[in-house]
Structure 1
Amino acid sequence: MTCKKKLIEVAIPLEAINAASAREKSIRHGHPSTLHLWWARRPLAACRAVLFAQLVDDPSSHPDQFPTAEDQERERQRLFAIIEDLVKWENSTNEEVLERARAEIRRSCGGVLPPVYDPFSGGGSIPLEAQRLGLPAYGSDLNPVAVMIGKAMIEIPPKFKDMPPIHPGIKERSFYRNAEGLAEDVKYYGEWMREKAWERIGHLYPLVDLPKEYGSGKGTAIAWIWARTVPSPDPAYADVHVPITTSFMLSSKPGKEAWIEPKVDRSNKTITFVAHNAGTKSEIAKAKEGTKAGRGANFRCLLSDSAITSEYVKRVAQSGGMGQMLIAIATEGKNGRVFVSPTAAQETVAVDVERQRAPGIALPNHSQYVGVLGYGFETFGDLFTSRQLVALNAFSDLISEVRAQILIDAVAAGLQVDAEPLRLGGLGAQAYADAVSVYLGFCVSKSADYWSNLCTWRSDPKNLGVGHVFARQAIPMVWDFAEANPFSKSSGNFLTSLDWIVRVVRELPGTTSGEIRQVDAQSVDYPVGSVISTDPPYYDSIPYADISDFFYSWIRGALRPTFPDQLNTIAVPKMEELVADRMRHGGADAAEAFFLTGMTSAISRMCGHSSPDYPAAIYYAFKQSEVEQEGISSTGWATFLQAIMEAGYSVVGTWPVRTELANRTRASGSNALANSVVLVCRKKEASAEVITRAEFIRALKRELPPAIAELQAANIAPADMPQSAIGPGMGVFSRYKAVLESDDSPMTVKAALQLINRELDEYLGGIQGEFDADTRFAITWFEQNGLKAGDYGTANNIATARGISVESVKHAGIVESAAGKVRILKRDEMDAEWEPDADGHLTVWECCQHLVRLHEKYGIGHEAAVMLKKFGPKADDVRDLAYVLYNICEKRGDAKEATAYNALIADWTDLTREAATAPLTNRSGQMRFEV
């Protein structure tokens, strides 16, 4: 390699990055993800760490400064410490920590900071973190919703950096840093909009009469809770609409349970609803059932108890016969929420509203992601009630009015009166009014996620209130829905959306200039010397262009005058979106061909215009189902790698990044696969040669084992090892122009992945030979029988082949042998008082099992650390055995046992650190291992 090797090509502190990335999912206040919903954002911690490691030299690139391996490792650990600080959320605005990282980048880049470009910028995580690190930040996306999010995060804040707010009246502080002044103006004018909207449509949201037991008087509604209805399928009640609901629960908070009682009068053919703010166990249990009768759209009729089938519901809905009825009202009481029975007056106010203009974009024909298909919903406008449309239109129309008011106030505050708007690079009063209105337009779009007839009422104690539409990356069908009050003080109100946005804007870095463009990745004009760090679409991923039309209609309505070029289409562009969508392209083969051709073209352009001095970082997100079914050679993964190879890149490393919190305290202990893989790529050498399959396998056998050993030394979790081993494996494959099969056809990436995985299995099998004979017996026996008993004769043959007897393994305390059967002892059957230095027949198997037992019980605690220290130089053998046993458990489908070994390796670094300072006690003698 003629250019300097970067840190990301050698090693990164993966567990620290993974821990910070997973934790980030639980952080809300001020996190950029809460500016506006976008799907599949990469964690900021991972983006920040990857960018740093892409730009900073690995110590091996400076043999004059770090001549020995030990010197290089010490320097690497110093850089790791910077990353470990850098990825912490608390340090994302810590200038001391950030400047330490920036200084390292400047040193490695010779003081000239290269531009970072993400041609699939999506939610903007990568350009934002480039900006935070002081780098010129660029990005682009085809989707106008993503482009607007990127502009709001990356383009606008630097233009008005350190500027005080312009609104009249009292200011919050005397000194404003970064975008704090902009944030204060967003808050001020958002509240102005809310008051104007109340003046115009507040009468549509009347107060609610509170029950006598709650002091009577009036209360503000939090939400009106509705049930969809269909005519009873029973001919005797065919003229009566009955509710189809998933639940009648309003609150499951212990001691404050609330529920809805449907009162059925069959003689008068009526159903009324009574809200109860307390209930017995049996009443609560019955309320949880609603009128559901099995899975899907299957219900029971409250009047006749006859079945309401899914087919019946669809038939009624498609003919326009589905209705809705008010079943309860959630209100703000003096001492918390109070649930009130519906009244005819409250229902009339809502349903008698004249329906206003609605988004006319047709819903996509994607039943996998659009659950409302078949139930009478045809356009995005159908996802809103008449009253919700009135509210959304009222707030949307106010954007132009508030922009005019901001312009007046900006001029009064002394901003330049110029003719240049924001979109043309203006910095004066007009541009500032545009900027503030962008965030207020987001308030409208963000509110739509809570003002839809697909919002649920969440009754669980932790999330009591209105749920939003996109709880997952789909548009779900909802049978009972909550209509939020825009003017309440609880979930789903306008000021809550405003507050989320203000918190984000206040914390945006805005340290360097940035630019986000709307352009197809195949047509990007890259700045000279760009560093590529990007998160492309993932093969047959969710077609975000389809579902983002939900927001696009409202963003376009509010902000088209501000950004007419980006918002000039009726809907989000679909056909050009680089995903393998079978529906759009007429089948799986055509979809795959479209993806491969388009992605190869986009990555070829990347490869041709990026700086040769820095590796590219390309993220790939695995779908768990994809990997479970096909492993690391899955179609999507192989197709993506094929595009990278054909584009002219060579893969020199792969790093698995975990972005989801597990349900356990120790998230890294889960044996679930990493959510994303970062591929480190360099331009392929022009002199690359062609080799045969046999030569490729020989190269793998020569180069992969030491690379895997290095990954083990870095304590890569066993669950992540197959993905991590792809890096060095594909590094071998992709450095050649082609690898030819026996019939002279080029080897596919999928075939290469399978060979790499085979070599990994052989490596893990080979290291077994380093263990003592008793441990080798136990491995083989565990592989064949797990923890179940097997025949003594078979066990004896296995033992004899290893030069020992079953009695030897029994004497070592590994197995139980009786009545012609042999089985491995479970960890909880082993001696809890066991000490390695007191064991006269010590084995690696025992050490591993006792360490796992202590780790499962105490985690990274004193007990496990002391035990690890007592193993001395044989600790590495214990770690190697954990890798081997994890691999066996995966093949056996023993997820529980696999998790135990994965968790041990995931925490190995911390355990080793604890062991280094742990005092040894009760050491009775010199340890020895039987061989």
Structure 2
Amino acid sequence: MTKTYKKKLIEVAIPLEAINEASAREKSIRHGHPSTLHLWWARRPLAACRAVLFAQLVDDPSSNLEEFPTHEAQEAERKRLFTIIEDLVKWENSTNEEVLEKARAEIRKSCGGELPPVYDPFSGGGSIPLEAQRLGLPSFGSDLNPVAVMIGKSMIEIPPRFKNADPVHGGAKERNFYRNAEGLAEDVKFYGEWMREEAWRRVGHLYPQAPLPKPYGGGDATVIAWIWARTVASPDPAFGGAHVPLVSSFLLSAYAGREAMIFPKVNKSARCIDYEIKQGPFSKSELEVARSGTKAGKGQDFICLLSDTAIPREYIRREGKAGRLGQKLIAIVAEGNGGRAYASPSQDHENVLIGLKGDAAISEARDTFLAGETPTRAEITGGVCSAYGLTTWGSLFNDRQLTALLTFLNILPDLRKKVFEDAIAVGLSEECSGQGDGISLAGTYANAISIYLSFAITKLADRGSTICSWDSSRTILRNTFARQGIPMTWDYAEGNPFSSSTGNWSSCCEWIFKAIEKFSPNSSGSESQQDAQSAQIPKAAAISTDPPYYDNIAYSILSDFFYSLLRPALKNVAPEIFSVISTPKSEELVAIASRHGGRDGAEQFFIEGMTKAIRKMVENSLEDIPATIYYAFKQSEVKEEGISSTGWATFLQAVIEAGYAVVGTWPMRTEMANRMIASGTNALANSVVLVCRKRDDAAEPVTRAEFIRTLKRELPDAIAELQAANIAPADMPQSAIGPGMGIFSRYQVVLEADDSPMSVKTALQLINAELDEYLGGIQGEFDPDTRFAINWFEQHGMKAGDYGAADNLARARGISVDSVKHAGIVESAAGKVRLLSREELDEEWEPEGDDHLTIWECLQHLVRFHEKDGLSWETIRLMRMIGEKAEAAKDLAYCLYDISANKRKDAKEATAYNAIIADWTELSREAAKIHDTRRDGQSAFDL
């Protein structure tokens, strides 16, 4: 018997554009955002997770026919639920209890009066468990990676245990009443400053002040950063092995009125180079020279300043691998009066670093917990430094940077002791906390503060390695992980942890303080280290997860950068998590060819492991609540293979083979387009949320022919519903996968002609073909002149073509070229015909005065206004005037997007049509508000 269940909102409709807009905006929010607690890669935006969880748990109105018996009543109720989601996804409302409680009330109503638990077996950066907790849902997360586990614990496990608690420190309290995690946050800030003072007492002498040049007022100032250049022996034997700098840029500040650059003074006879600071203004050519550093032209890396000859890349690699790269101080950035001050290098400052050479503690650190290997090109795509000799984590830090990190690590045990004593003094129990861990409440609190401040140490490392370079456009330090890799840097910026500027210890603590302060734990939370393939899934939990993405970056390799420091910091706090030397690699569910004997082996490893992990989810899935699974496309895959890309197809294969039926897909634009990796081959283009239910046990096999017949019967209506919901054309192929795969995965198997099972990749191709046929079929519903314009655009774009071809095309549609010309769509002259561009259309055109009105004109005029002014009054007014032809114009926009993007490869045209659809809901809503009046009060049009 076929199972019946109430459909949830996410299986029918969601306000996708509002979710996407909030998700994109969230990427620019820093202060107080949980992502600033600790770096993790490819986090899901909180807005998207919050909206998906709500829609996953709340019933769709069509499931309650007694209360909503008609289509109109259901649409009205959906609109009300959409309004809740639109409020819910706003960053400003993430701690708004009124908005959150309204959402919780809807979840309770749909879930028998209770808030069900949520589990994420691939919790990563913790966005899903955190948002479940924000909605009041008991929250469970697990991950194989210990760094991710500690992030999860710090977000969902620790804050609820100390909710509304006062801080324990002995200093002056910042407020009288503490809500949520505010007391915890204040203690992190207080004890962070205590650690800074203690570290300064131990190693402050290694950070001398710098004398400022007269233009900056003279005197001594705190250093912000020391700018170092890596050096290599001149390849020219005539210079006897003298070292020369490898510099990417000599520019220190590009700010108008504050320009500054490093000027190398070359003394060839003495075989040496000195450096001085020059202040602007500079000419354009001077700036170009400064920005080029010592880099050479095409095909070469650098120029030797002594010999003026090229320094080949292979030569630098050989020298680096042999350990013969040096470093030279080339500038000092200091805290001047009213801004940055730039000073020439000082030998005294360089001597501080030279004096640390051979330090036993530094050598021991490099030989022990920092001896792990840095990534190779085979494992990541964001650049590697290992090819130049930086092959261990310890080699990424100079001696002073490493001394600072070791100092803060050595202070942590003293910190734990101090917090424990202060906690006892304010009344926290010395007895076992009752959590089953055998630790007192005071001990648990001391451990919690230690965890957060160990994150400050890893933040300091991220801002304090020799991979960090100086950003002259913003005059700040770039961090180590400016991209998802560890690329080689030549001139690096060594920050001062005791300054009050970029990269300092206090700011590392401040970021953490602000993140914790915003936590609003509204339920319990638990994070554990488990392999998703064998994880113990909590009973009766709704599942929402963001699993690894096929052959995406191996985060286990990158996270060892942090793990190598967290392990000595926390191995006594969480010994079960930090029991191994490095993060697990072989079990990581990513298709890395170098790990599995080639691409085929990697694909087999991924699909077997992911199938096993998802099968665990299927076995524990609730009957009445669908599971949601995020998947992120890669730009390279989409460009080369479309929606049937290998990674996507492989992932869907695992989902279906595990026993899920895919009942919906929602494309979510959750990644920033300007990320550094976006220019690389493996940038994540956008995410798709799969909505899944257990496949019916009564499912039967069908033939390929029957599957195609069912697609043709059911998919058009589903696509029409997606169009009615104004899904952007760019998102339509992914959105159509939902109903298409819903058909495919409802069967036990789809059999090919030779009785072999149809692959998901083949099914995706058939679904896409049906989408193309549907969009092509829409053309038959347009007026003949519009159909002519569509076909002419498909063949010629906006270029001119032969009159004879145009005449034949027009006659086939029962019209003539003169008819299309009379409609104002084309120009016909000298035996040539071409479509008029939007800019050439009559600016005074209005539909009620057109005696030869076409859908083509309606859309092109709408797009013309929209391109110029967006959601302006004129665009909205025109939408109102078009009236009943608006839906046909929208259909035409989908057709023209498909032709522009997929057939003509015209990105500009495709973008224009995509943009108008993206704003269609708002345009329609605003147009409906216009009641035959213009801004001057006169009649605007007569509909």
TM-score normalized with structure 1 length? 0.97
Please point out which of 563, 583, 591 is paired with 1:572.
Answer: 583
Q: Quick one: which amino acid aligns to residue 379 of structure 1?
A: T
Asked if residue 519 in structure 1 is aligned to residue 530 in structure 2, the reply is yes
SS of the aligned residue for 2:386 comes to coil
Offset from partner CA, 1:813-872 (integer Å, 9 cap, x none): 000000100000000011111111111111000010000000001101111000000011
- Distance in 2 (alpha carbons) for counterparts of 1:916 and 1:56: 29
Offset from partner CA, 1:292-326 (integer Å, 9 cap, x none): 01368710011111000101111111111111100
Task: Report the alpha carbon displacement of residue 370 of structure 1 after superposing the two structures with TM.
Answer: 4.7
Matches within 5 A, 1:171-320: 171-281=173-283, 282-294=285-297, 298-320=301-323
Asked if residue 374 in structure 1 is aligned to residue 387 in structure 2, the reply is yes
Asked if residue 121 in structure 1 is aligned to residue 128 in structure 2, the reply is no
Matched with 1:668 is none
Matched with 2:780 is 769
Offset from partner CA, 1:21-73 (integer Å, 9 cap, x none): 00000000000000000000000000000000010000111101111111111
Matched with 2:87 is 85
Q: Quick one: which amino acid aligns to residue 723 of structure 2?
A: Q
Asked if structure 2 preserves the Cα contact closer than 8 Å seen for 1:138 and 1:516, the reply is yes
Matched with 1:323 is 326
**For the structure 1 residues 682 and 88, does the alpha-carbon distance in structure 2 shift closer, same or farther, using more than 3 Å as the test?**
same
Please point out which of 425, 431, 438 is paired with 1:412.
Answer: 425
Identity %: 64
- Distance in 1 (alpha carbons) for counterparts of 2:438 and 2:869: 58
Matched with 1:473 is 484
**For the structure 1 residues 743 and 519, does the alpha-carbon distance in structure 2 shift closer, same or farther, using more than 3 Å as the test?**
same
Q: Quick one: which amino acid aligns to residue 293 of structure 2?
A: G
Offset from partner CA, 1:412-451 (integer Å, 9 cap, x none): 1111112459882756111111111110010001110011
**For the structure 1 residues 838 and 26, does the alpha-carbon distance in structure 2 shift closer, same or farther, using more than 3 Å as the test?**
same
Matched with 1:443 is 456
Offset from partner CA, 1:698-747 (integer Å, 9 cap, x none): 00000000000000000000000000000000000000001011111100
Single out whichever of 576-585 and 363-372 deviates more from structure 2.
363-372
Asked if structure 2 preserves the Cα contact closer than 8 Å seen for 1:257 and 1:277, the reply is yes
Offset from partner CA, 1:568-618 (integer Å, 9 cap, x none): 110001000000011111100000000000000000000001211100000
Matches within 5 A, 1:731-746: 731-746=742-757
Matched with 1:914 is 926
Matched with 1:652 is 663
Q: Quick one: which amino acid aligns to residue 407 of structure 1?
A: F
Asked if residue 804 in structure 1 is aligned to residue 806 in structure 2, the reply is no
Asked if residue 17 in structure 1 is aligned to residue 19 in structure 2, the reply is yes
Task: Report the alpha carbon displacement of residue 924 of structure 1 after superposing the two structures with TM.
Answer: 8.4
Asked if structure 2 preserves the Cα contact closer than 8 Å seen for 1:815 and 1:822, the reply is yes
- Distance in 2 (alpha carbons) for counterparts of 1:364 and 1:227: 23
SS of the aligned residue for 1:521 comes to coil
Asked if residue 352 in structure 1 is aligned to residue 363 in structure 2, the reply is no
Asked if structure 1 preserves the Cα contact closer than 8 Å seen for 2:632 and 2:684, the reply is no
SS of the aligned residue for 1:275 comes to strand
- Distance in 2 (alpha carbons) for counterparts of 1:181 and 1:249: 44
SS of the aligned residue for 1:778 comes to helix
Offset from partner CA, 1:135-161 (integer Å, 9 cap, x none): 000010000000000000000000000
Asked if structure 1 preserves the Cα contact closer than 8 Å seen for 2:301 and 2:312, the reply is yes
Task: Report the alpha carbon displacement of residue 213 of structure 1 after superposing the two structures with TM.
Answer: 2.3
SS of the aligned residue for 2:248 comes to coil
Q: Quick one: which amino acid aligns to residue 747 of structure 2?
A: Y
Matched with 1:107 is 109
Q: Quick one: which amino acid aligns to residue 374 of structure 1?
A: A
- Distance in 2 (alpha carbons) for counterparts of 1:767 and 1:235: 74
Task: Report the alpha carbon displacement of residue 662 of structure 1 after superposing the two structures with TM.
Answer: 5.2
Matched with 1:703 is 714
Task: Report the alpha carbon displacement of residue 366 of structure 1 after superposing the two structures with TM.
Answer: 3.1
Asked if structure 2 preserves the Cα contact closer than 8 Å seen for 1:700 and 1:732, the reply is yes
Single out whichever of 887-896 and 654-663 deviates more from structure 2.
654-663
Matched with 1:690 is 701
Asked if structure 1 preserves the Cα contact closer than 8 Å seen for 2:104 and 2:115, the reply is no
Please point out which of 404, 425, 437 is paired with 1:391.
Answer: 404
Structure 1 gap ranges (5+):
665-671
Matched with 1:723 is 734
SS of the aligned residue for 1:650 comes to strand
Matches within 5 A, 1:482-521: 482-521=493-532
Asked if structure 2 preserves the Cα contact closer than 8 Å seen for 1:422 and 1:431, the reply is no
Task: Report the alpha carbon displacement of residue 264 of structure 1 after superposing the two structures with TM.
Answer: 0.5
Asked if residue 886 in structure 1 is aligned to residue 897 in structure 2, the reply is yes
Asked if residue 778 in structure 1 is aligned to residue 789 in structure 2, the reply is yes
Please point out which of 614, 626, 630 is paired with 2:625.
Answer: 614
- Distance in 1 (alpha carbons) for counterparts of 2:530 and 2:387: 35
Asked if structure 1 preserves the Cα contact closer than 8 Å seen for 2:847 and 2:882, the reply is yes
Offset from partner CA, 1:493-544 (integer Å, 9 cap, x none): 0011100000000011121110000000011111111111000000001000
Matched with 2:466 is 453
Q: Quick one: which amino acid aligns to residue 223 of structure 1?
A: A
- Distance in 1 (alpha carbons) for counterparts of 2:453 and 2:942: 72
- Distance in 2 (alpha carbons) for counterparts of 1:674 and 1:75: 33
- Distance in 1 (alpha carbons) for counterparts of 2:189 and 2:462: 20
Asked if structure 1 preserves the Cα contact closer than 8 Å seen for 2:375 and 2:384, the reply is no
SS of the aligned residue for 2:388 comes to coil
Structure 2 gap ranges (5+):
676-682
Matched with 1:875 is 886
Offset from partner CA, 1:354-404 (integer Å, 9 cap, x none): 441131112233354451122011211111101111000001111111110
Q: How many residues align?
A: 918
Single out whichever of 446-455 and 360-369 deviates more from structure 2.
360-369
- Distance in 2 (alpha carbons) for counterparts of 1:741 and 1:430: 63
- Distance in 1 (alpha carbons) for counterparts of 2:113 and 2:942: 55
Task: Report the alpha carbon displacement of residue 169 of structure 1 after superposing the two structures with TM.
Answer: 2.2
Asked if structure 1 preserves the Cα contact closer than 8 Å seen for 2:375 and 2:486, the reply is no
Asked if structure 2 preserves the Cα contact closer than 8 Å seen for 1:251 and 1:464, the reply is yes
Q: Quick one: which amino acid aligns to residue 762 of structure 2?
A: A
Asked if structure 2 preserves the Cα contact closer than 8 Å seen for 1:862 and 1:918, the reply is no
- Distance in 1 (alpha carbons) for counterparts of 2:4 and 2:432: 50
- Distance in 1 (alpha carbons) for counterparts of 2:499 and 2:462: 16
Please point out which of 424, 447, 457 is paired with 1:434.
Answer: 447
Please point out which of 560, 567, 574 is paired with 1:563.
Answer: 574
- Distance in 1 (alpha carbons) for counterparts of 2:321 and 2:142: 40
- Distance in 1 (alpha carbons) for counterparts of 2:900 and 2:289: 43
- Distance in 1 (alpha carbons) for counterparts of 2:882 and 2:418: 73
Q: Quick one: which amino acid aligns to residue 415 of structure 2?
A: V
- Distance in 1 (alpha carbons) for counterparts of 2:695 and 2:439: 42
Q: Quick one: which amino acid aligns to residue 78 of structure 2?
A: R
Q: Quick one: which amino acid aligns to residue 385 of structure 1?
A: N
SS of the aligned residue for 2:262 comes to strand
Task: Report the alpha carbon displacement of residue 553 of structure 1 after superposing the two structures with TM.
Answer: 0.7
Task: Report the alpha carbon displacement of residue 280 of structure 1 after superposing the two structures with TM.
Answer: 2.0
**For the structure 1 residues 652 and 674, does the alpha-carbon distance in structure 2 shift closer, same or farther, using more than 3 Å as the test?**
farther
Task: Report the alpha carbon displacement of residue 918 of structure 1 after superposing the two structures with TM.
Answer: 2.7
Q: Quick one: which amino acid aligns to residue 94 of structure 2?
A: S
Matched with 2:846 is 835
Asked if structure 2 preserves the Cα contact closer than 8 Å seen for 1:12 and 1:80, the reply is yes
